Amino acid sequence: MNTGWQCRTELLLGEEALHRVERAHILCVGLGGVGGIATELLARTAVGELTIVDGDIVEDSNRNRQIIATTLTSGRSKAEAMAERLLTINPGLKLHVRNEFLKDETLQFLLDSARFDCVLDAIDTLAPKVHLIAGCLKRNLKIVSSMGSGARRNPECVRCVDLEKTFNCSLAKAVRQHLHRLGLKGTGCRAVFSTEPPIKTAVYDPETMNSNKRSVLGTISYMPTVFGCHCAAEVIRRITEEA
């Protein structure tokens, strides 16, 4: 039996499945509440190669839910801070860091730049999310996508299903509609979502908003983490299952 730092993972998954994980290259886009914890869990499961993408910086308001957000990382690039953290977990990790927000043209180039075994989508804005999912579907790339975790409180309502089977999630609905306009269906994209209806009082639109965001949603520490756990588990399942 493996006696190294992954001995317990091997005991659970088996030697062959662990080798698949160690050989895998995962693209992780979005390193916030959901994406940050999901990416870290993939590193802790000994994924051999990660490409991480996020152009945002750590803000004080992130500390209630984002694994990378502390008083020491405030103001830093999320991608760079996450990279440092991941390499303290697994110094042997092959890591590619992109400190940028993906636009359609750069996204398409990125998807063609390497052989990704799976894509983790934790983008929280509609247009790039749709483009990423569409790009993966067109290339037959495995993708796991997080839908909206905000304005919800019940961790027992989180599910992972085919994107076309989601409900009670306005983000998932909008993604499906935009994909349909592109002549695509969400079938094949695994979506993590909550069956819990959003709490209406937890949504507001302040007068001074970041132009890249439509609204502000109330969040609590554990909900993005639960979403991230489901995302990471589904990625591992998809790369260890029989071809």
Single-letter residue type at 104: D
Q: What is the C-alpha separation between 201 and 194, in angstroms, rounded?
A: 17
Please give the Cα distance from 188 to 21 (Å, whole number): 21
Query: Is residue 176 within 8 Å of residue 137, measured between CB atoms?
Result: no
Q: Among 56, 110, 52, which residue's Cα sits nearest to residue 82?
A: 52
Q: CATH says 7-240 is which class?
A: alpha beta
Q: What is the pLDDT along the chain (243 residues), one digit of tens a residue?
A: 677 999 999 999 999 999 999 999 999 999 999 999 999 999 999 999 999 999 999 999 999 999 999 999 999 999 999 999 999 999 999 999 999 999 988 999 999 999 999 999 999 999 999 999 999 999 999 999 999 999 999 999 999 999 999 999 999 999 999 999 999 999 999 999 999 999 999 987 655 444 455 678 999 999 999 999 999 999 999 999 854
Burial (CB count within 10 angstroms: exposed 0-12, middle 13-18, buried 19+), residue 38: buried
pLDDT at 235: 99
Q: Indicate the domain borders of the chain.
A: 7-240
For residues 142, 18, 122 and 29, what is the CA-based torsion angle, rounded to 10 degrees?
-80
Question: What is the pTM (predicted TM-score) of this model?
Answer: 0.94
Q: Please report the pLDDT score of residue 242 as a whole number.
A: 59
C-alpha to C-alpha distance for 38 and 16, rounded to whole angstroms:
22
Tokens 């969040």 locate to 219
Half-sphere exposure of 77 (CA within 13 A, CB side): 13
What's the pLDDT at 208?
A: 44
Residue whose structure tokens are 């905000």:
150
Name which of 151, 149, 150, 152 is nearest 160 in CA terms: 149
